[in-house]
Structure 1
Amino acid sequence: MRARRLRGGLRGWGGVGAMAFACALAVLFALLLPLVRSHGEGGGTGTGGHGVAHGSQARAAEECTEPWKQTLSPSGADGPTIDEIQNRRGEKRKLIVGVDQNSYRWGYRDPNSGGDAGLEGFDIDLVRRIAEDILGDRNAVQFKAITTDQRIPAIEDGWVDMVVRTMTISCDRLTEVAFSAPYFKTGQQVLAPKSSGITGYDKTLAGKKICTAAGSTALSTLKRDQKNGEPTADVDLDTTVPNQLDCLVRLQLGEVDAVVTDGALAASLAAQDPTVGLRGTPFTDDEYYGVAMQKDADDLVRRVNQILVEWRADDTRGWTYSYDRWLSQTMEDAAQWEPPEKPEYLRTS
């Protein structure tokens, strides 16, 4: 373990003022939490033979298809990784999880919730379900707020046991971390002011400034499409930020013309500001969120997959309960956001 637009006004969030509050929290946590090392600095990335490793990863990514199926079959058995977590003592006997604290309805701090504005949302429900299964206590979690581009380093460096942070399963990422079976299905989508002439991922983006999160699937997709002139070769992609919420702030300030991110996250951003909305339909094939873990944590991957099976089948406090509680009001079309189809487990080792 070492090695979705607004159906009414915003409910209790506070618009731009809450954005500033959330951003201030992000700065505070960045100061208080340990610094996650970037790629190439220590941890599991190493420096020796980097060119060879990079070449191997590139070849593996090119040969990969349907990455959301490349996971291990479910099992409730313990193993060395789970034993290490369960053997932690005292205050340290917690599941350590990298999460978001700025994604409305996914993983966020609601300043109107009272108390210490604890983390809540769809992803947080899943984290607590995992902790309850492994440690017998849904509150036995040490949350570590991380940015989009810190997700993989946090796992590789052993800073967290897993990351549950709207993380898309991709072929490139499978060369660095292991994923659970999918727990949510989405696709890339454009978010822009309703008063703008932007209609979707099309030529109305020509010459526009687009904001994305560093290390995101959106950014890699846009860079790839830009090389092919899709939808246009002159889109400005220079604005990258640590978190998707920062893109909404940039949009509100008029510093960018549009945001591109996962449709599920774009819907949550739109729910925070009635002047913006999703434009067009998702422009990528289906993408899937998974729980990310270290590549050699096979027992933990199998255990999380077993938990996901049970979470989806639970009619009282399972997937549907969490979806209805956190996401249903922000999504434009509930039918579009059904759980992923029955998982396939094609990875054998």
Structure 2
Amino acid sequence: MKTYSKLILVLCLPLLLVTLSGCLKTNAQDKDLLEQVKEKQEINWGVKNDTELFGLMNIKTREVEGFDIDIAKEITKRLLGEEGQANFIEVTSKTSIPLLKNGNIDAIIATMTISDERKKQVDFSDIYFAAGQSLLVPKDSNIKKVSDLGSENTVLAVKGSTSAENIRVHAKDANILELENYAEAFTALQSGQGDAMTTDNSILLGMSEENPNFILAGDNFTNEPYGIAIDKGQDSFVLEVNQALKEMKEDDTYAVIYKKWFKEEPK
């Protein structure tokens, strides 16, 4: 009888552990994020480290810099006060939402486009940057607009991004080559592995600024507004972030940050 009881215990133990683990995860997700960040006096932001103008690692200082970073710092200050700490954790298009769902980061501010598909997994703040998708091509390219792309052309995009999805709609005959990040995609463009690179115009402008031999081809062919992604069920945190963005625009703090990085007034 004792042997039988031990056998039952051995068989049931893994199930018990899985159940307990699931309960702990649910309890963590049920905690109010706003209360948590105010208690620890810090917000962990998921940001890009390879995106000119928005989130780029400064090799000398070993600190990430850009528009997204400054917006995150300002929101942190408004939510937590002068003593509040903004921590920055590198994410990519593929890793950002999993890291958010796992609790490794509190929010994502990483040139993330608001989309219906992403809204199934996360909530978004109000728009903090109005962007649109475009093409980056060599200066001497015959590609002047997205409709010029045909079956003889290869377009470079980043894996897991909405840009990769959109280009298949707007250039149905073109070949699409997806790479891990913007740096790899641009390197591939420079080496002739593709005829054009596609993503948000804001990101491509940064690349063009650093590399004058490459230019944007034509106008934007999509409307791709950026939002701050926050896990589902954290309504109070979303409201506070939106209030901070609203106040930043009203008192011109947003305009100052915008002009610092883009050298023009916000559109």
Q: Which has the larger radius of gyration?
A: 2
1:270 Cα offset (Å):
1.0
Runs of 4+ aligned residues of structure 1 deviating over 6 Å after TM superposition are: none
TM (normalized to structure 1)? Answer: 0.65
Contact 2:75–2:244 (CA<8 Å) still a contact in 1? yes
Percent identity of equivalent pairs: 29
Residue matched to 2:206:
268
Aligned to 1:145: 90
TM-aligned CA distance change 1:324 to 1:138, over 3 Å: farther
Aligned match of 1:249: 187
**Which residue does 2:38 correspond to in 1?**
86
Shift of 1:117: 3.4
Equivalent residue number for residue 4 of structure 2? none
For the residue of structure 2 that corresponds to 1:141, the secondary structure is strand
Partner of 2:110: 165
Instruction: Let me know the Cα RMSD of the aligned residues.
Output: 2.1
Q: Partner of 2:46 in structure 1?
A: 98
Instruction: Report the CA distance between 1:321 and its aligned residue.
Output: 0.7
- 1:171 positional shift: 0.7
Distance apart, 1:130 and its partner CA:
1.6
Deviation at 1:86, TM superposition (A): 1.8
Return the offset for 1:106: 0.6
Who is 1:327 aligned against?
A: 262
Q: Deviations over 1:257-299 (max 9, x none)?
A: 1101011111111112010000011112x22101000011101
Contact 1:188–1:283, Cα closer than 8 Å, also in 2: yes
Instruction: Note the residue ranges of structure 2 that are not aligned, 5 or more in a row.
Output: 1-20, 26-30
SS of aligned partner of 1:149? coil
Matched, 1:213 2:148: no
Do structure 1's residue 312 and structure 2's residue 249 form an aligned pair?
Answer: yes
2:79–2:244 Cα contact (<8 Å) kept: no
Question: Partner of 2:210: helix, strand, or coil?
Answer: coil
Q: Which amino acid aligns with 2:238?
A: V
CA distance in 2, matches of 1:156, 1:168: 18
Map 1:95-134 to 2 at 5 A.
95-111=43-59, 114=60, 116-134=61-79
1:141-187: per-residue Cα shift (whole Å, max 9, x none)? 22110111112112111111000001111111101000000011111
* 2:135 is equivalent to residue 190 of structure 1: yes
Matched, 1:297 2:234: yes
Match of residue 11 from structure 2: none
Q: What secondary structure does 2:164 align onto?
A: helix
User: Could you say which structure has the higher strand fraction?
Assistant: 2
Deviations 1:222-258 (A, max 9, x none): 23x1xxxx4342x111x22222232111111222211
Paired residues, number: 240
More deviation, 294-303/214-223: 214-223
What is the alpha-carbon distance in structure 2 between the residues aligned to residue 145 and residue 168 of structure 1?
A: 17
Q: CA deviation at 1:132?
A: 0.8
Partner of 1:96, secondary structure, is strand
d(CA) in 1 for partners of 2:163, 2:228: 19
1:129·1:138 contact (CA, 8 Å) conserved in 2? no
How much has 1:205 moved relative to structure 2?
A: 4.2
